[in-house]
Amino acid sequence: MPVSERVAALETRRPKRADAARNFDALVAAGRAAFAEQGSAASLDDIARRAGVGIGTLYRNFPTRDDLIETLYLGEVDALADAADEVAELEPWAALRAWLDRFVAYVGTKHALLDGLNRESTVLGECRAIMLSAGEPLLVRAQAAGEVASDVTIGDVVKLVSGVAAVAYEDAAQRDRVLNLAINAIRL
Amino acid sequence: MPVSERVAALETRRPKRADAARNFDALVAAGRAAFAEQGSAASLDDIARRAGVGIGTLYRNFPTRDDLIETLYLGEVDALADAADEVAELEPWAALRAWLDRFVAYVGTKHALLDGLNRESTVLGECRAIMLSAGEPLLVRAQAAGEVASDVTIGDVVKLVSGVAAVAYEDAAQRDRVLNLAINAIRL
DNA sequence: CCTCCGAACGGAGAGTGCCTCCGTTTAGAG
DNA sequence: CTCTAAACGGAGGCACTCTCCGTTCGGAGG
């Protein structure tokens, strides 16, 4: 099943009545903005206010805080899966490396994604799986080209890189140094 | 200045009047227990209750939530600094590796420590510095023995390892695989 | 041993956030 | 245009953080 379909299958949340769909979209937009600004501590009351709907409406669409986060997360996973296609024409190692860099950059701005990566949840698990299957061909190709150890899995690589990407560094130079260290660790 | 003194210098919080000192200790013990059980979401009300003191007393000793966390953190840093001495007699690489393993194990159980590692704060900054100077000799020795690349700093190593230690893994095997990957990344 | 005062105590209450419940409104099918 | 099921939204209950201040008590001085 292609990625787009797998993502669509998870998007069953969006209601069909015109007003409800409008509110759903407003909530997602407000949620995205709030989490970007205030990190994972964003207040749901505040998100409802920004979206111009009552708190009740927020909770009807997203019964728990995690439900909302899951929906936001879905969009980000989607973007990451697209990135895997975009780098497909590069040389094997360069392609994998470029995707991982993209992953790191993405994770840096959207910190909520990282929290999600470690969280327990059916939807989030499926998201993780979607992302891993987007990256896997890149890893396999690099392994086939003899550039990466054959005993690492895409799951290992993502855990490694996401762990390193989550840390707060002194400065950009240290960040790059450590990130290089980590990514080169899988290289033969 | 030896580690014990640097730690002591940060312990100026503890009050001197008998009842106050008793309460301070009770709060620290309760805090340690609560954070161990419930993670970083532990409630301060609950901690005060466990310690058998009023919430007011908690706040007098620790004006903010972070003040309490800092104090708990201090004890953990202390333990890690001791660990560096304990492994000093091993071979250069083995000693560094053993200390990092200890670090990872510690961080695994006391998750609050990791949050602290990334947080902005004077006291926490000093704690970090204490921990780094405890680990540095081990790294330098391994570098002198030609076992570790000479251009990595102890700061880099700790960031790398703590990032990787913070991730939630599928199982212990994956955790070990990725951890090995990361630690061997600095090896020559 | 007693007095006394400033340090320490502790809990009521204000502020804020999460989430539920239910009376009111409204989209859109017939 | 009517009518009903779906959607709305905010008041209110509960939990937690933090402040404020009247009450208690440790321990120094007599």
Tokens found for residue A56 = 């009740």
d(CA B30, CA B52) in angstroms, rounded, equals 9
**Nucleic chain D contacts, Cβ below 7 Å:** A 15-17, 19-20, 22-23, 52-57, 59-61; B 17-19, 42-46, 55-56, 59, 63-65
pLDDT tens digits, A95-140: 999 999 999 988 877 777 677 667 777 778 888 888 899 999 999 9
Looking at residue A9, what is its pLDDT?
64
Average pLDDT of chain B is 89
pLDDT tens digits, A35-69: 988 888 899 999 999 999 999 999 999 998 888 98
Looking at residue B1, what is its pLDDT?
67
* Residues across chain B: 188
Average pLDDT over residues B47-71: 93
Give the distance, in angstroms, between residue B20 CA and nucleotide D23 C1'.
Answer: 16
Those residues whose C-beta lies under 8 Å from the C-beta of residue A141, and which sit 6 or more positions away, are A92, A95, A96
Give the distance, in angstroms, between residue B52 CA and nucleotide D24 C1'.
Answer: 16
Nearest CA of chain A to the CA of B52: how many Å? Answer: 30
Q: Which of B162, B166, B185 sits opposite A182 (nearest CB)?
A: B185
Looking at residue A40, what is its pLDDT?
81
Least confident piece of the model among A171-175, B74-78, B118-122: B118-122
pLDDT reading at A76 higher than 80: yes
> Of the candidates A12, A29, A151, A133, which has an alpha carbon nearest to the alpha carbon of residue A80?
A133
Q: Is A187 on the interface with B (CB under 8 A)?
A: no
d(CA B96, CA A17) in angstroms, rounded, equals 62
Q: Is A139 on the interface with B (CB under 8 A)?
A: no
pLDDT reading at B120 higher than 80: no
pLDDT tens digits, B154-169: 999 999 999 999 888 8
pLDDT reading at B43 higher than 80: yes
Chain B contacts of A118, Cβ < 8 Å?
Answer: 167-168
Tokens found for residue A145 = 């080209």
pLDDT reading at B138 higher than 90: yes
Least confident piece of the model among A14-18, A174-178, B133-137: A14-18
Main-chain phi, psi angles of A148, to 5 degrees: -130, 140
Q: Is A180 on the interface with B (CB under 8 A)?
A: no
Average pLDDT of chain A is 89
Average pLDDT over residues B44-66: 95
Those residues whose C-beta lies under 8 Å from the C-beta of residue B61, and which sit 6 or more positions away, are B13, B15, B23, B24, B27, B67, B68
Average pLDDT over residues B69-74: 86
pLDDT tens digits, B1-13: 676 676 666 666 7
Nearest CA of chain A to the CA of B77: how many Å? Answer: 18
Average pLDDT over residues A72-88: 88
pLDDT reading at B60 higher than 80: yes
Chain A contacts of B185, Cβ < 8 Å?
Answer: 181-182, 184-185
pLDDT reading at A7 higher than 70: no
Looking at residue B73, what is its pLDDT?
85
pLDDT reading at A6 higher than 70: no
pLDDT reading at A74 higher than 90: no
Nucleotides of C under 7 A from a protein CB: 7-13, 16-22, 26-28
> Of the candidates A184, A183, A72, A89, which has an alpha carbon nearest to the alpha carbon of residue A141?
A89
Contact state of B174 with A182 under an 8 Å Cβ cutoff: no
Question: Can you spell out the DSSP letters for A96-116?
Answer: HHHHHHHHHHHHHH-HHHHHH
Looking at residue A100, what is its pLDDT?
95
Chain B contacts of A117, Cβ < 8 Å?
Answer: 167-168
> Of the candidates A73, A66, A159, which has an alpha carbon nearest to the alpha carbon of residue B169?
A159
Residue B116's pLDDT band (cuts 50, 70, 90): low
Looking at residue A108, what is its pLDDT?
77
B18 CA: nearest nucleotide by C1': D26
B56 CA: nearest nucleotide by C1': C10
Looking at residue B117, what is its pLDDT?
66
Least confident piece of the model among A145-159, B10-24, B116-130: B116-130
Q: Is A114 on the interface with B (CB under 8 A)?
A: no
